[in-house]
Copies of this chain bind each other. A is one copy, B any other.
Amino acid sequence: MSLIDLSKQVALGVDIGGTNTKFGIVNHRGEVLDKGNLRTDEYDKVEDFIDALYNHVQPLMEKHGAEKHFDGIGVGAPNANYYKGTIELAPNLPWKGVIPFAELMTAKFNLRCTVTNDANAAALGEMLFGAARGMKDFIMITLGTGVGSGIIANGSLIYGHDGFAGELGHTIVKPGGRKHWSTGSEGSLEAYASATGITITAKKMRAEFPESMLNQYPEDAINSKTVYECAIKEDPIAIEVFRYTGQKLGEALANFVMFSSPEAILLFGGVIKAGDFILKPAKLHMERNLLPIFRNKVKLVFSELDEADAAILGASALVWEK
């Protein structure tokens, strides 16, 4: 009897962020059976981090191990390379250089390990378990502290020649525009549409318009959350901050659509809490920059996955992606 019982197959999904790492045990239906987390930034050596992760995960694996079969480990991490299993030169992780992360994980856990960048993992999660179920062509944009992306075409993630495809946050939307605080590039999407970019826009605009409600906050309290608070109280400057952000996002989306002609663009991450304040101008400026042949075809929607679990689900989806 070697029939595979899918209901017994589980994967370990790991999402590595600059500050925290989340992990969970996920089944084929996208249910998180158990989960936990640890600090990323407390481990200067990657080997120590993997030891600590193992110590956190091991009790959960033992608890489920009697009745479940572990198929493998999927890891979403910044600058992770799917082809090589490495994490390379990630600016916001404590481990420098090129880390053979998948190899180190396999040595410790004795399980096959696949890595990709966090936004690619999120896109897979949406395709297997979320709003993109059944879609073969879509783009996932994560709007958080930064702007990430995962691109699905012909039913597969686009990794590109070197495994680093899908850095849409770093495409230039305004040549010679705002200088990026970290990359130094001028006018990238991330410089405008990330939470960091929104904060910069808000600080500039409140300085220009003393009557704005945004001036009731101290400088270091200005962020996408406080802009939202002012926007729902109908402060026109706060609304304009989001409208401008949505315009830049929409202009970028038009270019992405003319590249890969997706069925949908899924937006994900903290910034989407601004809802229609960003979505409506984004849609408007996407449509007006499209060739007629592409207009009113592409769904622009928010992710359906629970944000707390999405990263874990996405990472675990790596194990089952073919």
Chain A positions near chain B (C-beta within 8 angstroms): 79, 88-89, 135-138, 151, 153-154, 156, 158-168, 170-175, 183, 185, 251, 254-256, 258-263, 289, 291-294, 297
Contacts and interface: CB of A to CB of B under 8 A. Distances in A.
Nearest to A264: B161
A171 B88 contact: no
A88 B293 contact: yes
Contact of A161 (B167, B256, B261): B261
A189 to B, nearest CB: 10
Contact of A261 (B138, B160, B173, B291): B160
Contact of A289 (B137, B185, B289): B185
B174 A175 contact: yes
B164 A293 contact: yes
Contact of A255 (B151, B165, B255): B255
Given A136-B161, A137-B161, A161-B136, A259 B171 contact: yes
Contacts of A254: 171-172
B259 A151 contact: yes
Contacts of A183: 291-292
B291 A258 contact: no
10 contacts: A137-B161, A162-B261, A162-B294, A162-B297, A163-B261, A165-B261, A167-B293, A174-B175, A255-B255, A256-B259
